[in-house]
Amino acid sequence: MITMNYRKAIAEAIARAMRRDPRVVFLGEDVGKPGGAFKTTVGLRDEFGPNRVWDTPISEQAIIGAAIGAAMRGLRPIAEIMFADFLGTCWDGIANHAAKLRYMSNGQVSVPIVIRTHGGAGLGFAAQHSQLFDNLAMSIPGLKVVVPSNPADLIGLFQAAVDDPDPVLFIEHKALFDVKGEVDEDPFSVPLGSAATVRQGEDLTLVATGAMVPVCVQAAERLSEQKVSAEVIDLRCLTPLDMSTILTSIAKTSRIVIVQEGPATCGWGSEVAARTADVGFNSLDAPVRRVTSPPTPTPFAANLEKLWVPTVERVVAEAMSFW
């Protein structure tokens, strides 16, 4: 085991994938020589050379297109989109092409690409640099969606994403870049679609992703002081969605609070809530609750942004409202 932060884990994950499979190539803006706008890809061009690590112009549509086309020809491209917010500039390539080509061609064409990006609020990047885009991705059949919350998961899920035959949107969270964790030195992979129960509990299930996982873990600790035992589930992937871990949990706890960064409407939390209210209905003793950001863009001012991102206090309050 070695300790590394989430930022370092990104470069490590890419490097491991590139070492393991010569078909893996990596492209994006400033990812090579500069080592990434957030220094998340430092060292890769030195190790793998210019034939495998490519700096591109500011051309998100071309980046995604190039990845798709190269994948159709047998490569395993990793494409970086610098901020998740920029996915709007190349959404057609992702949603209408990468995700649909296999189906439209009746299985003749495969698009095994990983689109890495980072998203999320909390650092003062304002409305056009703070979104996750996770729900939009999740709504597209044919696209897998990964949202790692810690360095080890990041590396393991990344390996699975690169090995996967389908296009995967891999959304890191920029507020986690400095979070440290233990990572196995040997190669490993975490299967896509398996949630992690990061804390066991009896009275209540908290479901979260990314930067909301540590928020829920802290909330669970606070709740335990009030004699409420909360189970915390880190979904890790949005597609495939591991509902069975959630259903097993609520069969025990009968109560759920979904904690989601970003506005509630049509978020991943709506889908989890909708499925819970359908197949999990008979387990429920109480309404399905969500703690989310308000229905607004992300404000810039520090004090407003703090109110925008769900907090430990809000999670605790929502949980306690059951009693």
Partner 1 sequence: MKEIRAFEDKLQQLFSDGLVRGSTHLANGQEAVAVGAAAALAPQDVVFCTYRGHHHCLARGMPPEAAFAEILGRLGGCCGGKGGSMHLTDPSLGLLGSYAIVGAHIPIAVGSAWASRVNGDDAVTCCFFGDGTTTIGSFHEALNLAAVWRLPIIFICENNQYSEYTPIAEVVPVVNPAADRASAYGLKSVLVDGNDIEAVRSAVTDARGTAAEGNGPSLIEAVTYRQSGHSRADPGTYKPAAEVAYWNTRDPIKLFETSLDLPTGELEAMNRGVEATIAAALEVALASPEPGPEALLTSVWGDAPT
Ligand X SMILES: Cc1ncc(C[n+]2csc(CCOP(=O)(O)OP(=O)(O)O)c2C)c(N)n1
In the range 225-254, which residues lie near a second copy by CB under 8 A?
A: 239, 241
Candidate ranges 20-28, 82-90, 147-155, 259-267; the one touching ligand X (CB under 6 A) = 82-90
Is residue 154 within 8 Å of residue 13, measured between CB atoms?
yes
Closest contact distance (angstroms) between CB of 46 and a second copy is 33
* Of residues 35 and 247, the one with the C-beta less far from partner 1: 35
The single residue among 21, 46, 47, 58 that binds ligand X, judged by CB under 6 A, is: 58
Q: Report the alpha-carbon distance of residue 91 to residue 135 in Å, rounded.
A: 13
Q: Report the alpha-carbon distance of residue 315 to residue 310 in Å, rounded.
A: 7
Candidate ranges 4-12, 131-139, 210-218, 299-307; the one touching partner 1 (CB under 8 A) = 299-307
Identify the active-site residue in 97, 118, 129, 173: 129
Residue 100 as a binder of a second copy (CB under 8 A): the answer is yes
In the range 277-296, which residues lie near a second copy by CB under 8 A?
A: 277-279, 281-282, 284, 286-290, 295-296
The single residue among 6, 26, 48, 86 that binds ligand X, judged by CB under 6 A, is: 86
* Of residues 54 and 322, the one with the C-beta less far from ligand X: 54
Closest contact distance (angstroms) between CB of 322 and a second copy is 12
Closest contact distance (angstroms) between CB of 67 and ligand X is 16
The single residue among 6, 86, 177, 308 that binds a second copy, judged by CB under 8 A, is: 86
Catalytic site includes residue 173: no
In the range 141-180, which residues lie near partner 1 by CB under 8 A?
A: 141-142, 164-166
Residue 123 as a binder of partner 1 (CB under 8 A): the answer is yes
Q: Report the interface residues with ligand X, using CB under 6 A.
A: 29, 58, 60, 82, 86, 89
Which residues in this chain contact a second copy in the complex, by CB under 8 A?
85-86, 88-89, 91-96, 99-100, 103-104, 126-128, 135-136, 138-139, 141-142, 239, 241, 263-271, 273-274, 276-279, 281-282, 284, 286-290, 295-297, 299-300
